[in-house]
């Protein structure tokens, strides 16, 4: 274990307490957290004990939701946390944030609406480089006027969530084998962007007026700099680090 990991594990109890105190103060005392939505294992301490057992309490004390390894695949809040990077809130069967967005409008929250004793919630997604997505949820058993709470407290809650998730992932050494990438050249980025758009090496060569061998040379160099193995991982890591945006070059 590195020194930074040791320090992060020591910080975790304080961060967890801050998360809980913040929820208690605004009437959203029931908390769930996951540092990596792609990991079926629950968020846990250095000894592997889930925080849902040792630290946070849930609306239904008898529901050990963290033992459901498929949870992240069918819960509406987690779907929404993957779609937007800013905090949002749940009330009366729908999701909202500070701006209009069709992404949240399209998420089906019927399951949450039909869950007994589930009131309202504020959810803070945390999107970190290299594709890591986590989230923290503050919930109530009854309506508490969450729209006004969101307006007054969402920024601070999101900041706490970022600290918790980032610290926990650092403590666990996630993502594994991550290194500081070397600077990519303009040509390497261009080739990655067109590859991310689904273009073949031949098509990229035509677009950029390069030979196929030169395109492959740039993609191999980019992969080596990013610490990637293969085309798909190169694109994923490049996207997570901001080299590849939502539109092609």
How far apart (Å, rounded) are the C-alpha atoms in residues 111 and 106? 14
In a domain, 27, yes or no: yes
Number of structural domains the chain divides into: 2
Indicate whether 207 and 141 sit together in one domain: no
Read off φ and ψ for residue 123, nearest 5 degrees.
-120, 130
In a domain, 176, yes or no: no
Indicate whether 142 and 209 sit together in one domain: no
Residue 90, SS3? strand
Longest dimension (CA), the chain: 63
Indicate whether 105 and 166 sit together in one domain: yes
Indicate whether 196 and 152 sit together in one domain: no
Domain boundary among 147, 171, 195: 171
Domain boundary among 125, 142, 171: 171
- Per-residue pLDDT, averaged over 108-136, amounts to 90
**Burial (Cβ within 10 Å: 0-12, 13-18, ≥19) of residue 68:** middle
In 3-state terms, the chain is what percent helix, strand and coil (to 5)?
50, 10, 40
pLDDT tens across 202-230, in order?
999 999 999 999 999 999 999 988 888 88
- The CATH number given to whatever domain includes residue 140 is 3.30.450
Sign of the dihedral defined by the CA atoms of residues 125, 126, 129, 131, in that order: negative
Indicate whether 205 and 164 sit together in one domain: no
pLDDT tens across 60-116, in order?
888 888 887 777 667 899 999 999 999 999 999 999 999 999 999 999 998 888 888
Give the side-chain half-sphere CA count within 13 A for 211.
3
How far apart (Å, rounded) are the C-alpha atoms in residues 95 and 57? 23
Give the residue numbers spanning the domain of 139.
Answer: 3-171
pTM: 0.81
Region of 40 (left: φ > 0; alpha: ψ -120 to 50; beta: rest) is alpha
Indicate whether 9 and 105 sit together in one domain: yes
Query: How much is the pLDDT for 7?
Result: 96
Indicate whether 160 and 203 sit together in one domain: no
């Amino acid at each position: 274990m590195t020194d930074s990991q040791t320090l992060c594990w020591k910080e975790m109890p304080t961060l967890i307490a801050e998360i809980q105190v913040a929820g208690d103060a605004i009437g959203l005392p029931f908390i769930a957290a996951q540092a990596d939505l792609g990991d079926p294992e629950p968020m846990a301490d250095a000894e592997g004990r889930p925080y849902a057992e040792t630290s946070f309490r849930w609306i239904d004390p008898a529901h050990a939701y963290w033992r459901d390894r498929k949870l992240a695949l069918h819960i509406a809040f987690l779907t929404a946390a993957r779609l937007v990077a800013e905090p949002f809130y749940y009330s009366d069967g729908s999701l909202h944030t500070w701006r209009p967005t069709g992404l949240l409008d399209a998420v089906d929250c019927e399951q949450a609406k039909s869950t007994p004793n589930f009131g309202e919630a504020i959810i803070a997604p945390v999107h970190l480089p290299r594709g890591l997505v986590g989230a923290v949820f503050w919930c109530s058993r009854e309506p508490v006027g969450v729209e006004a709470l969101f307006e007054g407290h969402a920024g601070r809650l999101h900041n706490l969530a970022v600290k918790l998730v980032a610290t926990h992932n650092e403590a666990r050494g996630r993502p594994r084998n991550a290194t500081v990438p070397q600077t990519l050249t303009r040509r390497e980025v261009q080739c990655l962007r067109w590859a991310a758009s689904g273009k073949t090496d031949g098509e990229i060569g035509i677009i950029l007026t390069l030979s196929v061998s030169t395109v492959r040379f740039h993609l191999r160099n980019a992969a080596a700099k990013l610490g990637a193995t293969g085309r798909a991982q190169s694109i994923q890591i490049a996207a997570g680090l901001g080299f590849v945006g939502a539109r092609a070059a």
